[in-house]
Chain A
């Protein structure tokens, strides 16, 4: 083992491998908690989708599938740039690390801007749950307005919590870019980049499930 990695090992670890392994396990414990957090929201979604299928179809058909698909592509590309950032850190490519982290940050911000315009559109059309909520569906006459309101409540909570995670992820990326700028990362010290990558990919996975469950119900009508 080289001296450059010796100085990075905290006194309670045997070596750098054990230290890195512990960090990975700790991150997965945190992500396990995140799985249960979003899992609870998905469970509520599932229970009410069984109870009010027409309202779910009506609400879903009104979401903008073009913007939803666009955002899905944006997030997938951002996961690729994040993975390439981890590779750059592992192989000691400082400039390409900064470039890939910046690209990930720009893509994440793009997602949030598109999400903002989707929310704004819902606000303008009174599709935000609350006293002024109003919804008429030509294709689904059986969908009660109050049940469609429940769909939109879940839509805003689920995509809102997802967007909050994206904002936190963007903050972490800025922190990494500053550290990378100072030359803090290299082949023996890349765990901060790797674990932020885990978090970023996890948020991508949540969207992988949100997109079909919210945007793609009953598109064939």
Chain B
């Protein structure tokens, strides 16, 4: 597979997108959205990370094998969070029910 050279115009557009998302995340933080505040902040952060991985890190133009390696990295991270958080969130639910 030949190396794909990404043109500067693509990099500049991606940078523009990242800047808009960054302004958006700062502005949204000053509105009270209740529980949605962290959801909005994280959604924007994930979108920014996607732009960086796909274009700055060339994954969009990489081989399927590279894409699998990248996806695995982030999938393993999700496994860690989905195993840790239910444990810690639910620990104190049982405390009053245990008499000793």
Contacts and interface: CB of A to CB of B under 8 A. Distances in A.
State yes or no: do A and B come from one complex.
Answer: yes
Interface of A: 17, 20-21, 24-25, 28-29, 31-32, 35-36, 39-40, 43, 46-47, 50-51, 65, 69, 72-73, 76-77, 79-80, 82-84, 87, 90-91, 194, 197-198, 201-202, 204-205, 208-209, 211-213, 216-220
Contacts of A80: 11-12, 15
Contact of A35 (B12, B32, B37, B74): B74
Contacts of B7: 87
Given A25-B65, A205-B49, A212 B42 contact: yes
Contact of A36 (B18, B30, B80, B84): B80
B77 A21 contact: no
B95 interface: no
Nearest to B16: A80
Contacts of B62: 24
B100 interface: no
A90 B3 contact: yes
A149 to B, nearest CB: 20
A24 to B, nearest CB: 6
Nearest to B83: A43
A40 B84 CA distance: 10
A197 B57 contact: yes
B5 interface: yes
B31 to A, nearest CB: 6
Contacts of A87: 5-8, 11
A21 B41 contact: no
Interface in B46-100: 48-49, 52-53, 55-58, 62-63, 65-66, 69-70, 72-74, 76-77, 80-81, 84-85, 88-89
B56 A201 contact: yes
Contacts of A82: 56
Nearest to A35: B73
Given A24-B66, A79-B56, A87-B5, A220 B77 contact: no
B70 A47 contact: no
A163 to B, nearest CB: 19
A80 B3 CA distance: 20
Contact of A32 (B1, B52, B72, B80): B72
